[in-house]
Amino acid sequence: MSQSTYEKLRTELREIGTLGTVSALVGWDEQVMLKPGGTEFRSQQGALLARMIHERFTSKQLGDWIGELEGSTPENEDARVILRELRHDYDRATKLPSSLVEELARTTTLSQAAWVEARSKKDFATFSPWLTKMLDLKRKEAACLGSASGHPYDALLEGYEPGETCESLTKLFDAMKPRLVALIERTADSGKVAPLEILERRYPAAAQEKLAREAAAAIGFDVNAGRLDISVHPFCSGIAPGDTRITTRYDEQFFGDAFFGTLHETGHAMYEQGLPKSTHFGTALADATSLGIHESQSRLWENLVGRSRPFWSLFFGKAREAFAPTLDDVSMDDWMFAVNDIRPSFIRTEADEATYNLHILLRFEIEQKMLKGDLNVADIPKVWDETFKRYFGIDVPDISKGCLQDVHWSCGLIGYFPTYSLGNMYAAQFYRAATRAIPDLESLIAKGEFSPLLSWLRANIHMHGRRYRGRELAQRVTGEDVSPNALLDHLEARGREYYGV
């Protein structure tokens, strides 16, 4: 392998990556800092950066370097991985004609605006022409990208969860569904109802923020290399080496949103902070494995740790103090039940950790048909509501709580949803492996010692970047192929504990 070509390639990747960090910062600022007067121009800043990055990443020169380096196998394992993943990304990026990329970008902006309007008016007709157009463009995109199966959904999925297909995910979801549905039915029939009122008392935003910051720092968020701010839609952005930022929002009438949301985003953030960016910035080795693996890190901290008894044996006292006297009459048992509630609900983002997966199954089923053309856009609301009734046993009250609730389709993010449930599976599987590797894990957590768990995640998951596909990583870390078993075992244990079922 030519060292000088490799060095030129690395320099180019570093510069493209640096432009990417600038673009990420501009995006963060837009969500968190920008006032309305700056919005219009901001879209020009974002578009220019996106175009420059795309042009450099799809350049013939870059392709020539990759081709030249592929001619001789690099001795270095890291370089092999970097080249392999670069080929993967370069081919995908260059397969799309600029005209399609631009039309997708333009349509996304308009389609998203139409979706916002449609949701607020509860009027599907306002959005349906845009969804039709978006599906058409996504089919074209899938046709350009191609897939081994020939299924367009697989071509899109590859962009979010490399290596997974409809077939592989369907197997996992089919294995999950019966036990999950049975658990949810048992909890509903148990006659027990979680004391949710506890979480709906008055929680001043300042006290919430203080507790959320304390929790984020306690579990391991490096506050010297990142920020916690407020935005309408909470997110995490691993902007640049040494600069990872998360956001949340405070609802003074509900405890759960900000606190668990912060744990969730902190999980994402600690993954970003754990990626080997100082050595491998600009290459796939400094990137997250996949969306599913990213989500596994957020879910692990939010749910496996953050809703556990050891965690709250440490934090319940702090919460009582932070919101005194609001929680003075609440027992630890009632609190634990409230934060481990399982019950059907309409909005995915507000769902508990068990029923959440049903929301994903529903979307995975519908969007495959949508993309294939087996489901007409006009029929989506009806099919959504019927499928929802079948899964959840309740009637969707209106379309804003039905098929118009998520932003994803309006942005063309088709194939994204299944990675959320895959993340839940990975999370439970990784956590189980961690409890094996760190025998006294739960008593350490109860003492506030989170670093053994974080170090284990760093060493086993974070440090690898995109060295392995998600499934291969899980196999290496846990000794088992990915499966819903750990997740189901975990959820069933919570069912037994709180619902006695």
Q: Which is nearer to its own copies, 28 or 450 (CB)?
A: 28
Q: How many helices (H) and strands (E) does the chain have?
A: 21, 3
Q: Cβ of residue 62: shortest distance to its own copies, in angstroms?
A: 17
Can you tell me which of 38, 129, 397, 500 binds its own copies, judged by CB under 8 A?
A: 38
Burial of 164 (0-12, 13-18, 19+ CB in 10 A): buried
Q: Cβ of residue 237: shortest distance to its own copies, in angstroms?
A: 12
Q: With binding defined as CB under 8 A, does residue 45 bind its own copies?
A: yes
Looking up tokens 């069933």 gives 492
Q: With binding defined as CB under 8 A, does residue 99 bind its own copies?
A: no
Beta-carbon neighbour count of residue 266 at 10 Å?
31
Q: Is 229 helix (H, G, I), strand (E, B) or coil?
A: strand
Q: Which is nearer to its own copies, 44 or 72 (CB)?
A: 44
* CB 370 within 8 Å of CB 380: yes
User: 496: closest CA among 350, 337, 357, 345?
Assistant: 337
Can you tell me which of 48, 143, 193, 217 binds its own copies, judged by CB under 8 A?
A: 48
Q: With binding defined as CB under 8 A, does residue 220 bind its own copies?
A: no
Q: With binding defined as CB under 8 A, does residue 373 bind its own copies?
A: no
265 is catalytic: yes
Region of 35-43, 111-119, 423-431, 488-496 interacting with its own copies (CB under 8 A): 35-43
Q: With binding defined as CB under 8 A, does residue 35 bind its own copies?
A: yes
User: 412: closest CA among 101, 201, 88?
Assistant: 101
Q: With binding defined as CB under 8 A, does residue 102 bind its own copies?
A: no
Can you tell me which of 7, 11, 41, 493 binds its own copies, judged by CB under 8 A?
A: 41
User: Which tokens hold the place of 282?
Assistant: 């600009």
265, 272, 353, 367: the active-site residue: 265
User: 244: closest CA among 219, 266, 212?
Assistant: 266
Q: Is 165 helix (H, G, I), strand (E, B) or coil?
A: coil
Q: With binding defined as CB under 8 A, does residue 21 bind its own copies?
A: yes
The strand pairing partners of 414, in sequence order, are none
Contact partners, residue 31, CB within 8 Å, separation at least 6: 231, 232, 233, 235, 247
User: Which tokens hold the place of 486?
Assistant: 């750990």
Within 236-255, the residues that bind its own copies by CB under 8 A are: 239-243
Q: With binding defined as CB under 8 A, does residue 39 bind its own copies?
A: yes
Q: Cβ of residue 57: shortest distance to its own copies, in angstroms?
A: 15
Q: With binding defined as CB under 8 A, does residue 225 bind its own copies?
A: yes
Q: Which is nearer to its own copies, 26 or 181 (CB)?
A: 26
Q: Which helix (H) or strand (E) holds 133?
A: helix 124-145
Beta-carbon neighbour count of residue 319 at 10 Å?
21
Q: With binding defined as CB under 8 A, does residue 53 bind its own copies?
A: no
The residues binding its own copies (CB under 8 A) are: 15, 18-19, 21-22, 25-26, 29, 33-42, 44-45, 48-49, 222-227, 239-243
User: Where in the sequence numbering do the catalytic residues fall?
Assistant: 265
